[in-house]
Structure 1
Amino acid sequence: MPSRRARRGSGRCGRGAVPSAAVGGPGRSTQVGKRDGQRGGLMEGSRTRRFVWALPALMIVAGAAVDLTTSPNFSAIPLFAAAPLIAAPFFSLASTVRTAGAAFLVVLAIRAAHGTLGHVVPLTELLTLVTVSALALVINSVVRHSNEQLASARVIAETAMRAVLPTPDDRIGGLMVAARYEAAQADEFVGGDLFAIVDTPHGVRLVVGDVRGKGLEAVGAVAVVIGAFREAAEQESSLEGVAQRLERALAREGVRRGGLDSVEGFVTAVLAEIPVGSDVLRIVNRGHPEPILLHGGGELQVLAPAVPALPIGMGLDVWPDRSDEWPMPAGATLLVYTDGLSEARNARGVFYDPAGRLRGRTFPGPEELLSALTDDVRLHTGGRTTDDMALLAVGRPDTGPQGPRRP
């Protein structure tokens, strides 16, 4: 689910965009492009809504014009019948009734003006219009009921995701933190991407992962992983121990659910640790996209593991977990993300390259980094993303002669 900062910084998923140079250009262009994209989307949606609202009336007006300007033997009843059918899925019940009534009264008035009201054909036309109007009211009732159920399901799903993925604080253990959850579709809230960050006696520890699958089952697996992580992060003395606790938690969940397929029940994850009073960054990568460490001056590192490892929960524990270490000096920012970012494609099928798009760029802090990144990936894909993405950025404040400042 989108975090508090996600809503403040970028609206909802599928919303504005920035020029392709925004990530590498001035920070202001990011916000300008984003506002332009949002304004364009709102104008497009406003025009569509106005057209839909006007269409039933246009059908009635067109039907009247045809009937009044052609021979009495010619009937425009299909246009009148279309008006309540068009209104049914979009209008309220009262508006649909008014549309049907207006169509009926116009047909009645035209037939009376032609002096054919008592003839068999006009009576059949009126009966047809009444039947179609009754069908439109049934359609309206079904659509409203379905919309109510869908709205209820969305509220439940969003509440579940809010409970499972609470928004982290802006500051944790002296580090600056920003997180985003960007849904692939604007109306979807349930997915398998996850993130969590905690301040422990061993330092700040975090996890970003991707549970295979979607829906409420994925939320259940996310809850298992995050719950196990929060407990293990406090208790385990090493990051490798945390990873093994997650492995055992998923194994227990598989037993509880009658067994999880090793192809369906795995989680790719990056676990990271920034010890207290140290500029060391430790990472255990279990089959997840490689994190990026951004330094001052636009330099960055792609943090590839020395020895690749399998995702958590595949049941193939063929080698022990090993953490890799990198220096994380003051002013550096760690970016961890799920494959919804790195596998986002444009219209030509080209994957988004986070490292290439961020190289040479500096940001005031983690929040600004994620804002620019989410805006840029929307531009790359044209707003047509096919997978959720979770983003977590952690920055170590820069320390200069005047004290700590944002990186």
Structure 2
Amino acid sequence: MTHTPAAHTAPASRTTASAEPRHPARTLVRRLVRSRSLLAAAPVALMTAVALTDLLTPDWLHVSPVMAAVPVLASVLLPLWATASLGCAALAVTAALQADAGQWGRPDSDVVLFSLFVVGLTSMAACCLRGRRERQLQQIRSVAETAQRALMHPLPHRIGSLALRGVYLPAESEARIGGDFYEALATPYGTRILVGDVRGKGLPAVGASAALLGAFRELAHQERSLTRVAERLDERARRQIAAVDGILEEGRTDGALFTERFATALLVEFPPGEPLARLVHCGHPEPFLVRAGRVHGVLPDRPGAPLGLGDLLETAPPVQTLPFGPGDRLLLYTDGFVEARDRHGRFLDLTARVEAHAGRPLEAMVAGLRRDLGRHVRGDLGDDAALVALERLPARPDAAPPGHRPAAP
């Protein structure tokens, strides 16, 4: 099954893939802005409804004190100047209603007006506080976006004969970054891919992700063997574990925290000029192979230990070789995609969803899987989720065969 989407002709530059995260929090902000524009008329509608009700009800029933809800509602929806204006308008309308009912100057009328004045001032103060918190949140989002770009580079659209698409969804929509990570590099030994998931959350998980990504970017160009890359990453993970454990429990040497910190990972290598892929499983969920519209789970011949626990096994992680020709696709993901539950506790059937999108272009398939995950959990992810899809493209007719050198003139 061969697809030729337009993105396949894109150069191998590190531009943000359109199937990668389009900042769901930013989309939510836009929706909230549109909602606020519709709700902006709510305080005015409430003030009008209270005034008409007070005018149309008998003299013994006065609903004008409900007018105090107008500045409160405005402080939630509108900026400071609008809150102040509606507070003053509510005070003026209430005074007019009191005068029309002959209540002006009475003690109960003075209490209502004074209460409305105090509520208006309090609403303005709350509006100022809300504005300050929104500005702080915007600054945090900006810092988080910068940190994500520095930590996890956007995937290129294409590396050699491989088309790539990726998506990353953090569990905390405002955090933008978490413990899942991926990277794709063109190296002297072919294209090398890393997908991983650090156990835990928070800053320790982000720090471990940054350490492993930095090590992979260096080792992928240095080590000829993919197994050796995995071994060196395991060493780096163990040093990270020792450093974090030393900080958390200084002086504790019984190793009780050792097994609580690790990272699952899957390393994939596509040698230049060979229609195959090499995989090293380090305790990570098995990828999917999509071939001729059929989806196959790529179970490891012998799974390796997660990064950070490699010394528990006496042997190095084995390399698995997989035929990977033109039109074949490989889907790498973290457990956030397979362990996502809906409100009834049911897991997402990722195999079925991949089969449903297998016939679509690569970019559309990844976008569809992302939508399926969001619909399944109703926007409430319990864990970070990352996915990388790769497709071997047909050889270009004008491309020279591997190892071919042009004749000297």
TM class by shorter chain equals: 0.7 to 0.9
Q: Residue 269 in 1 paired to residue 265 in 2?
A: yes
Paired residue secondary structure (1:89): helix
Aligned match for 1:310, one of 293, 305, 314: 305
**1:148-175 per-position Cα deviation (integer Å, ceiling 9, x unaligned):** 1111111101110011111122221332
**1:238-297 per-position Cα deviation (integer Å, ceiling 9, x unaligned):** 1111111111212222333343733543111111111112122111111211111111x2
> Is the contact between residue 270 and residue 276 of structure 2 (CA under 8 Å) also seen in structure 1?
yes
> Is the contact between residue 357 and residue 368 of structure 2 (CA under 8 Å) also seen in structure 1?
no
Query: Residues 57 and 360 from structure 1, CA distance in 2 versus in 1: closer, same or farther, beyond 3 angstroms?
Result: closer
User: 1:280-295 counterparts in 2 under 5 A?
Assistant: 280-295=276-291
What does residue 176 of structure 1 align with?
163
> Is the contact between residue 291 and residue 334 of structure 1 (CA under 8 Å) also seen in structure 2?
yes
> Is the contact between residue 16 and residue 156 of structure 2 (CA under 8 Å) also seen in structure 1?
no
Query: Residues 131 and 374 from structure 1, CA distance in 2 versus in 1: closer, same or farther, beyond 3 angstroms?
Result: same
| Residue identity matched to 1:390 | A
Paired residue secondary structure (2:41): helix
> How much has 1:315 moved relative to structure 2?
6.4
User: 1:390-405 counterparts in 2 under 5 A?
Assistant: 390-399=386-395
CA distance in 1, matches of 2:198, 2:22: 25
Q: CA RMSD, aligned part only?
A: 2.9
What does residue 121 of structure 1 align with?
108
What does residue 329 of structure 2 align with?
333
Query: Which stretches in structure 1 are left out of the alignment for 5+ residues?
Result: 16-37
> Is the contact between residue 6 and residue 12 of structure 1 (CA under 8 Å) also seen in structure 2?
no
CA distance in 2, matches of 1:329, 1:55: 60
CA distance in 2, matches of 1:323, 1:159: 36
CA distance in 2, matches of 1:114, 1:58: 22
Aligned length: 376
**1:157-202 per-position Cα deviation (integer Å, ceiling 9, x unaligned):** 1110011111122221332221221334554412211100111111
What does residue 83 of structure 1 align with?
70
User: 1:2-401 counterparts in 2 under 5 A?
Assistant: 4-6=16-18, 11-13=22-24, 48-49=35-36, 52-184=39-171, 186-259=173-246, 261-295=257-291, 297-314=292-309, 316-319=311-314, 320-359=316-355, 362-363=358-359, 365-399=361-395
Query: Residues 84 and 185 from structure 1, CA distance in 2 versus in 1: closer, same or farther, beyond 3 angstroms?
Result: same
CA distance in 1, matches of 2:127, 2:295: 56
Paired residue secondary structure (2:205): helix
> Is the contact between residue 87 and residue 120 of structure 2 (CA under 8 Å) also seen in structure 1?
yes
Query: Residues 126 and 70 from structure 1, CA distance in 2 versus in 1: closer, same or farther, beyond 3 angstroms?
Result: same
CA distance in 2, matches of 1:211, 1:234: 23
- Higher mean Cα deviation, 187-196 or 362-371? 362-371
Query: Residues 401 and 237 from structure 1, CA distance in 2 versus in 1: closer, same or farther, beyond 3 angstroms?
Result: closer
> How much has 1:12 moved relative to structure 2?
4.7
CA distance in 2, matches of 1:147, 1:392: 33
CA distance in 2, matches of 1:163, 1:283: 27
Query: Residues 65 and 152 from structure 1, CA distance in 2 versus in 1: closer, same or farther, beyond 3 angstroms?
Result: same
> How much has 1:69 moved relative to structure 2?
2.5
Paired residue secondary structure (2:126): helix
Query: Residues 358 and 364 from structure 1, CA distance in 2 versus in 1: closer, same or farther, beyond 3 angstroms?
Result: closer
